[in-house]
Amino acid sequence: MTDTPAPKPKSRLARAWDSDFAWNFRHSPVAVVSFVVTAILLLSALFAPLLATMNPFDPANLNLLNGFVAPNTPSEFTGETFLMGTDDQGRDVYSTILYGMRISLFVGFAAVALGLFIGVSLGLISGYFGGWTDTIIMRIADVQLTFPSILVAMLIFGVAKGFTPVEYRDQLAIWVLILSIGLSDWVQFARVVRGATMVEKNKEYVQAARLIGRKSFPIMIRHILPNVLSPVLVIATISLALAIIAEATLSYLGVGAPPTQPSLGTLIRIGQGFLFSGEWWILFFPSVTLLTLALAVNLLGDWLRDALNPKLR
Amino acid sequence: MLKYIAVSAVSLACATASYAETFRWAGTTDPQTMDPHAVNSAPVLGFLNNVYEGLVRRGKDMSIEPALAVSWQPIGEGEGWRFNLRQGVTFHDGATFDAQDVLFSYQRASNEASDTRSWFAPVSDVKVVDDYTVDILTSAPNPIFPDSIANWMIMDSGWAEANNAALPDKESGNYATLNANGTGAFVISDRQPGLTTTLVPFDGWWDTAEHNITEATFTPIDNPATAVAALLSGDVDMINPVPIQDADRVDSRDGTRVVRGIEARVIMLGFGHEADTLKYTAMEGEKNPFQDVRVREAVAKAINVDAILKTIMRGSAEASSQLVSPAMRGYSAGLSDRPAYDPAGAKALLAEAGYADGFSFGLKCPNNRYLNDEAVCQAVTGMLAQVGIKAELDAMPVQNYWPELREDNFDMYLLGWSPGTFDHEHPVRFLVSTPNSEKKLGSWNFGGFSNARVDELLPLVQSEIDDGKRQAMIDEIVGIYQSEHAYVPMYVQPLVWGTRDNVNLTQRPDNFFILRWVTMN
Amino acid sequence: MLSYIIRRVFQALLVLLIVGLVAFAMFNFIGDPIDNMLGQERTEEDIARLKAQLGLDQPFVVQYFKFILSALQGNLGVSYEQGRPVADILVERAPATLELAAVSGVFALTLGIILGVITAIRRDGFLANSIMILSLIGVSLPTFLIGILLIYLFAVELSWFSSFGRGETVALGNWTTGFLTASGLKALVLPSITLGLYQMTLIMRLVRSEMLVVLREDYIRFARARGLSERAVTFRHALKNTMVPVITVTGLQLGSLIAFAIITESVFQWPGMGLLFLNAIQFVDIPVMAAYLMLISVMFVGINLIVDLLYVAVDPRLRV
């Protein structure tokens, strides 16, 4: 984003600070707050090993007798206390949230990047060339839409299991999640980009570029792409929140992150099993974290959409 | 509109109060068929026990008692058993029960198309002596035969033949898949597969009814949280199971309570004995450490079963040293100690076996088969990590799990076993005996444990009539599988049912829910 | 135009065939139905025999062609789990899903439009901002959690609604409806909210942003200048002009309401097609999974076809 302080000559920084976009940002409290919240969450995920009190992903660190300890109360068996309590395995909920958020954010960003890459490429190609290329790509999109992401996840998981070398197996689930969420995500990018491309390609500047003999791909990337990016950026922001939630849902359906390395979504899935039994903290803290994260990202996306929409200035 | 909804809410409340003798219960899975010979699984047999009956049945304490047979005695020197049938019994459709129905049900249940065929492996012939006497001949003396046929249910030959259901059809189903005609206490009045099944009492039942139900409906609810909510909100009168963590909540709430017991199912860890190398490890190509009995013993010592029972099982399960629970026939009372939790001892054993630095391996686990199975496997992973061996946990739904085990894709795995015959011979036959598909032995012994003495003793156990001698041989087998650490038995799974306060019921260790013992106040 | 339609229908059929092929290729990886169909005491030979009987020992392409051939003759096969024709099961389960989707759709559309209008005309007001943030909270939590929380609050603690199922239903021929009984209507409330919440937020935000644009158009200013009441301006002029994109999006979302009712139906034990599909996955009931996926793809392809045809009818430039 243009407003992040960067080690650049002062004049440029000042120019960015004075731009419409930055002015708009500075004068929207919602945007500032959600940006700060997102940044804090991102940073705490990034520096999880420094902030956490234990590494919950190392099974050797877990003492089962520390299981189900309520927030800030000493354990019945070991006397240890935990800020946000512990889960059924004796994992410190606070540390697990930090580590789990890393996985959720990684899956979210990677899935959106994948969906974005496939969707924008296919959308550009589809809209620019039209004809049979367009038909085939759009029909592939139809096939894709039919498959619920749970099925895609199960398929990829099954196929991947056969081909992954043993030592990468425990990473497998994460990549399966990224692939399956990314694959069920690309269609919306493709549709938006295709629509915008079909409009852009008939404009004079593209016709002109064609006339002077420019090749198709450079035209697509240099001329059309920048003009279709703003709706894509907005969808991408909202998709990030959706991808993090989708990961939780897949976990609920039994194809999520491995239980020994729980993501935020897996933690919620585990926690909802303890809703009636009174161990509210296992569900509550991860849910609030997910809620805050998704809310902040969504609000940022909202603001971005309004800010990039010239009709609303 | 709002007013209308409010009014209808009141009328609904009144309606619920007026048909209180309708009993509504929920379980995790719908019985997939109404055919008592098509699928040998607990949900099906448990449900159909309310509709069909066998020659013998199990009482509240699991003891064998007369049902369609009034008495039975061995023939000669263990050539078989003679059953004297009950007279004046009718099926739900009014047909009379007699020896022809027993013969027909034997032929039907022992056919290749039936899943119950293995029960009749010891049977050589069935002879109708007269209308109410049947001889069942066995190829070798079989002292426990009457015990082993409590779930063999008798079907009316005329009904089955008239409806083209003389044999079960697993592949495409037939009339008997959706309809039932037994002699039991309840008649199926409505069956919507996967949704609800409604039963009403059978007026012409030969026994005296103990229950006061006028109608009973069963609904499968596979989401545990929804099932608990349904019980707490009074939408159902009974659920099985209550998730272990919710038991206290259900028990302490006004209007609901929990009925606890110990199930016949033992949860254990199994090893790949046969495999020469580990499948999931960084040290590829080296010898499989689990072939060394010291390593297996180290695993047994590294697992703190008490901690699992205290936290994950919340005190409702019992530790186990054998492949059956103490309530089962043939339990070895003298061998009830399981290896004590001893991480230092486990490390010493590992060092002695040459694995002082530990090793990594793959642990397979189902995540929707046994109570809190995934949590238990995670705990096991942690405990093993603390003695220096690193398990790569792979937890999966049960539909993927069995194929993985059959294809030998494991180094260690979690298994639960509930003996269908309630006898120690059952797990020995299926889990300890050397796999032999011709003799139908060891079909669940995925790791391929093999011990010549056990294989030698098993047929002797099967045909020994004298209880003392039989127990001595079982004790020897237990001694072998314990000292060899063929499996690491951990605990006996608990039964946790939840009911409304006004319901009285009886819980049996086989987890069968028997409607004729339910009364509602 | 006619040749375009024929071409599109032909393509749609091709899509269906490919969906089927992909579906059958993935069934192998979902698991193995055999262990569910045989009991504890099965032997290796029982397994082999049943596999051969069901044709599971053959390559998936063969299984697929068998399925297509019998489907063309109107036979969708027999469910492994229930032992009866899949077509019967789908007919039995469809009303539950369709009624749930319809009620959620109406809920999402009505509330979405009303809240969208409010947030647009009171832009940046306290009420509008609260509505915007509250609606976002609804989509920032996974559906299963929202469902469970609703059950906990309204069924367990307050006892206002039932915790699962459809309540009492009335059979009208082949169609069972929950609309005609009080308990049936009550049972619809919580699942419809759970299922419709996401679409509601989507429609609300769409209406809001379209309204914000429209309210700045000249003709609205003229209408105001002519002294028309604010309400007449808002509803008769502005809202009317936002309806085209809203209806398009709603149409597309209707398909996904039905397809993605899976989670809601599982949380509320709603006896519809989504629950059937989830159970089928657990059982590896291949005929049911295949038929369900084909049905869903017919629906998606159909809706896409209609939308595309409408676009072409509206904007001839898009004809390729």
Selection from B410, B423, B419 nearest residue B364 by Cα: B410
Q: Rounded to a whole number, what is the distance in Å from the CA of A170 to chain B's nearest CA?
A: 7
Q: Which residues of A touch B248 (CB under 8 A)?
A: 277-278
Q: Could you read off the pLDDT of B408-441 as tens digits, one per residue?
A: 889 999 999 988 788 899 999 999 999 988 888 8
- Summarised one tens digit per residue, pLDDT across range A245-298 is 888 888 887 777 777 888 888 889 888 888 888 888 999 999 999 999 988 988
Which residue in chain B is spatially nearest to A262 when comparing CA positions?
A: B378
pLDDT per residue as tens digits for the range B457-480: 999 998 888 889 999 999 999 999
Both tokens of B506, joined, read 């009886």
Highest mean pLDDT among B270-284, B380-394, C135-149, C296-310: B380-394
Q: Count the Cβ atoms, other than its own, within 10 Å of residue C247.
A: 12
Q: Name the average pLDDT for chain A.
A: 82
The answer to whether B194 touches C276, Cβ cutoff 8 Å, is yes
Quote the percentage of chain C above a pLDDT of 70. Answer: 95
Helix (H/G/I), strand (E/B), else coil: B220:
strand
- B232 in contact with chain A, both atoms CB, cutoff 8 A: yes
Instruction: Quote the pLDDT of residue A4.
Output: 53
**Which residue in A62, A89, A274 is closest to B245 by CB distance?**
A274
Of chain B, the percentage scoring pLDDT greater than 70 comes to 96
pLDDT at C278: 87
Given a cut of 70, whether residue B88 has pLDDT beyond it is yes
Is the distance from CB of B461 to CB of B222 less than 8 angstroms?
A: no
Please report the pLDDT score of residue A20 as a whole number.
74
Residues of C with Cβ-Cβ distance to A142 under 8 angstroms: 12, 15, 297, 300-301, 304
Residue B116 to chain C, least CA–CA distance (Å): 8
C-alpha radius of gyration, chain B, whole number:
25
Letter string b/e over residues B434-445, b meaning 16 or more CB atoms within 10 A of that residue's CB: bbeeebbbbbbb
B281 or B359: which carries more pLDDT confidence?
Answer: B359
> Of chain C residues 198-237, which have a CB less than 8 A from chain A?
205, 209, 212-213, 216
Distance CA C45, CA B439 (A): 11
What confidence category does residue B20 fall into, taking pLDDT thresholds of 50, 70 and 90?
very low
Nearest residue to B40 (alpha-carbon basis) of B191, B150, B201: B150
Among A189-193, B113-117, B512-516, C314-318, top mean pLDDT goes to B512-516
Query: Which chain B residues contact residue C43 at CB under 8 A?
Result: 118, 437, 440, 443
DSSP string, B21-87: TEEEEEESS--S-S-TTT---HHHHHHHTTT---SEEE-TTS-EEESSEEEEEEETTTTEEEEEEPS
Test B41 with C33 for CB contact under 8 angstroms.
Answer: no
Q: How confident is the model at residue C320 (pLDDT cuts 50, 70, 90)?
A: very low
The three-point CA angle B296-B300-B304 to 5° equals 155
- Give tens-digit pLDDT for A126-158: 988 888 898 889 888 877 877 777 777 777 776
CA angle C288/C37/C77 to nearest 5° reads 30
Higher pLDDT, B141 or A234: B141
Are B443 and C42 within 8 A, CB to CB? yes
Structure tokens at A235: 């969808």
Q: What pLDDT band is residue B35 in, cutting at 50, 70 and 90? A: very high
Backbone angles phi, psi at B412, to 5 degrees: -145, 150
pLDDT at C316: 56
**pLDDT confidence band for A310 (50 / 70 / 90):** low
Which residues make Cβ contacts (< 8 Å) with residue B248, sequence separation at least 6? A277, A278, B258, B314
User: Is residue A96's pLDDT more than 80?
Assistant: yes
For the question of an ipTM over 0.90, the answer is: no
Find the helix packing angle between C273-283 and C286-314, rounded to 10°: 140
Nearest CA in chain B to A89: B379
Smallest Cβ distance to A272: which of C137, C148, C320?
A: C148
Chains that touch A (3 or more CB pairs under 8 A): B, C
Contact B246, B508 (CB under 8 A): no
- Mean pLDDT, residues B202-227 taken together: 91
Taking 60 as the threshold, does the pLDDT of residue C112 lie above it?
yes
Please write the tens of the pLDDT for every residue from B386-414: 999 999 888 888 878 888 888 888 999 99
* B217 CB-contact burial (10 Å; exposed 0-12 / middle 13-18 / buried 19+): middle
Question: Of A119-123, B129-133, C80-84, which gets the smallest average pLDDT?
Answer: C80-84
Is B2 a residue whose pLDDT tops 50? Answer: no
Q: How far A58 CA lies from chain C's nearest CA (Å)? A: 27
Q: Find which of C10, C133, C140 to mutate to test the A interface (most A CBs within 10 Å of its CB).
A: C140
**Chain B residues within 8 A of A67 when measuring between CB atoms:** 311-312
Q: Are B509 and B262 in contact (CB under 8 A)?
A: yes
- Indicate if the pLDDT at residue C97 is higher than 80: yes
What is the rounded distance in angstroms from the CA atom of residue C214 to the CA atom of residue C235? 12
- The Cα of B101 is separated from the nearest Cα of chain A by a number of Å equal to 46
Amino acid identity at A308: L
Q: State which residue of chain C sits closest to A310, comparing Cα positions.
A: C213
Q: Which amino acid is located at B416 in the chain?
A: G
- Cβ–Cβ under 8 Å, residues A4 and A17: no
CA distance C104 to C99: 8
Q: At which residue do the structure tokens 């069920």 appear?
A: A184
CB B343 within 8 A of CB B386: yes
Q: How does pLDDT run across C261-291, given as a tens digit for each residue?
A: 888 998 999 999 999 998 888 888 888 988 8
Nearest-angstrom CA–CA distance, A78 and A73:
11
ω before B241 within 30° of 0 (cis)? yes
d(CA B407, CA B401): 10
pLDDT over threshold 90, residue A191: no
pLDDT tops 50 at residue B3: no
What band does C311 get if pLDDT is binned at 50, 70 and 90? low
Burial of A234-251, coded b for 16+ CB within 10 Å and e otherwise, reads: bbbbbbbbbbbbbbbbbb
Asked which of A10-24, A68-82, B126-140, B387-401 is least confident by mean pLDDT, the reply is A10-24
Whose CA is closest to B155, among B165, B145, B147? Answer: B165
| Residue of C19, C148, C320 with shortest CB distance to A275 | C148
Q: Which residues pair with B494 in a beta bridge?
A: B262
What confidence score (pLDDT) does residue B290 get?
94
Q: Give the Cα separation of A272 and A264 in Å (integer).
A: 12
Q: Which residue shows structure tokens 């989707």?
A: C101
Report the C-alpha gap between B13 and A139 in whole angstroms.
52
Q: Among A110-119, A253-262, B158-167, B240-249, whose mean pLDDT is lowest?
A: A253-262
Give pLDDT tens digits for C144-190: 899 999 998 999 888 899 888 888 888 888 888 888 888 889 999 99
Q: Is C311 on the interface with B (CB under 8 A)?
A: no
Other CB atoms within a 10 A radius of the CB of residue B92 amount to 22
Contacts of B243 in chain A (CB under 8 A): 273, 277
Tell me the torsion sign for CA atoms A88, A94, A97, A100.
negative
* Residue B201 DSSP symbol: E
Q: What DSSP line would sit under B237-269, residue for residue? A: SEEEPPPGGGHHHHHHSTTEEEEEEEEEEEEEE
- Subunits with at least 3 CB pairs below 8 A relative to chain C? A, B
How far apart are the C-alpha atoms of B393 and A105, rounded to whole Å?
23
Tell which residue, A97, A107, A110, has the closest CA to residue A264. Answer: A97
Show Cβ contacts of residue B46 under 8 Å, excluding neighbours closer than 6 positions.
B31, B510, B511, B512, B513
Are the C-beta atoms of C121 and C215 separated by less than 8 Å?
Answer: yes
* A20, A302, A310, B92 from A17: Cα distances, Å: 9, 21, 19, 86
Angstrom CA distances, A18 to A21, A39, A312, B500, stand at 8, 22, 19, 69
Tokens of A33: 């707050």
CB interface of C with B, residues 251-290, below 8 Å:
266-269, 271, 276, 279, 281-284
Residues of B402-430 as b/e, b for ≥16 C-beta within 10 angstroms? bebbbeebbbbbbbbbbbbbbbbbbbbbb
User: Computed from CA positions of residues C215, C216, C222, C228, in that sequence, does the dihedral angle turn out positive or negative?
Assistant: positive
Asked if residue B269 has pLDDT above 50, the reply is yes
Segment B49-56 shows an average pLDDT of 95
pLDDT of residue C203: 86
Hey, what amino acid is at C174? Answer: N
pLDDT for A312 beyond 80: no
> With an 8 Å Cβ cutoff, are B381 and A59 in contact?
yes
Residues of chain C with Cβ-Cβ distance to A198 below 8 Å are 318
SS3 of residue B456 by DSSP: helix
Percentage of chain B surpassing pLDDT 90? 61
Cβ-contact A291, C133 below 8 angstroms: no
Q: What is the sign of the dihedral through the CA atoms of B288, B292, B296 and B299?
A: negative
Strands (E), A194-235: none
C213 has a pLDDT exceeding 80: no
Chain B's closest residue to C44, CA to CA, is: B437
CB-based contact, B200 to chain C, within 8 Å: no
* Residue of chain B whose alpha carbon sits nearest to that of C78: B172
DSSP annotation of B97: P
Sign, CA torsion B496/B501/B505/B506:
positive
| Span A10-50, pLDDT tens digits | 666 677 667 777 777 777 888 889 899 999 999 999 998 88
Query: Left if phi > 0, otherwise alpha if psi is -120 to 50, otherwise beta: which for B221?
Result: beta
CA torsion angle for A185, A190, A193, A197 (degrees, to 10)? 180
pLDDT for res B152: 94
More confident residue, B25 or A81: B25
Report the predicted TM-score, pTM, of the whole model to 2 decimal places.
Answer: 0.85
Is B68 a residue whose pLDDT tops 90? Answer: yes
